[in-house]
């Protein structure tokens, strides 16, 4: 039997409100109003228009959506945008400087470290996070610390070679 009060109860439910959020993305400040359940990935792609960050699984399993938040790599599909109010976000669009590709981007090209390219922006941002963390020394450690980034094309040896080259160049420069 239909509850005669049902429609009244529905109208009394609070309407979700968009919340002001400020994100500094690749050095540019964006003031947004975002519903509480919107992920950082969707905010970047659909609200800010930066589609370089890819949506693969949308469940934290593939790493295609990896970005840096305040220098630390995160899965943007598992991160609510409102949780990162005031944060600095780096996406693949922010890596080049004055028209020059980042060393990691150059190394990925040099080592042919992509096929379809769908995972590549996530791989590169994760590699950048890995270099910031300074935990990896060997090929095996690079593999282990990049294990959250899947590549359906299977270009793993080339990806590891590209990262290792940049890591060694960085170490040689310090």
Q: Which residues sit at the interface with ligand FES, rule CB under 6 A?
A: 55-58, 60-65, 75, 77, 114-120, 151-153, 155
Q: Which is nearer to ligand FES, 44 or 87 (CB)?
A: 44
Least gap, CB of 78 to ligand FES (angstroms): 6
Distance CA 72, CA 18 (A): 27
Helix (H, G, I), strand (E, B) or coil at 41: helix
Nearest residue to 18 via CA among 91, 85, 90:
85
Per the DSSP assignment, residues forming a β-bridge with 33 are: 20
Distance CA 77, CA 144 (A): 21
As given in the structure block, the two tokens for residue 65 are 């959506």
Least gap, CB of 48 to ligand FES (angstroms): 17
Q: Which is nearer to ligand FES, 29 or 57 (CB)?
A: 57
Least gap, CB of 85 to ligand FES (angstroms): 20
Q: Which is nearer to ligand FES, 50 or 65 (CB)?
A: 65
Give 3-state DSSP helix, strand, coil % of the chain, rounded to 5: 40, 15, 40
Least gap, CB of 156 to ligand FES (angstroms): 9
Q: Which is nearer to ligand FES, 18 or 116 (CB)?
A: 116
Judge contact between 55 and 41, C-beta under 8 A. yes
Q: Which is nearer to ligand FES, 107 or 151 (CB)?
A: 151
Least gap, CB of 113 to ligand FES (angstroms): 8
């Amino acid at each position: 039997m239909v509850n005669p009060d049902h429609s009244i109860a529905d109208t009394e439910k609070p309407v979700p409100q968009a919340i002001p959020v400020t994100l500094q993305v690749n050095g540019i400040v964006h003031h947004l109003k975002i519903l509480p359940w919107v992920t950082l990935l969707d905010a970047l792609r659909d609200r800010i228009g930066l589609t370089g960050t890819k949506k693969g699984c949308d469940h934290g399993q593939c790493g295609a959506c990896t970005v840096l938040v305040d220098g630390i790599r995160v899965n943007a599909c598992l991160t609510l945008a409102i949780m990162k109010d005031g944060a600095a976000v780096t996406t693949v669009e922010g890596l080049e400087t004055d028209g020059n590709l980042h060393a990691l981007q150059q190394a990925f090209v040099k080592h042919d470290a992509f096929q379809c390219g769908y995972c590549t922006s996530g791989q590169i941002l994760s590699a950048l996070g890995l270099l910031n963390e300074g935990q990896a020394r060997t090929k095996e450690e690079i593999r282990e610390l990049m294990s959250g980034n899947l590549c359906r094309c299977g270009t793993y040896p080339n990806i590891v070679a590209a990262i290792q080259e940049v890591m060694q160049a960085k170490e040689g420069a310090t």
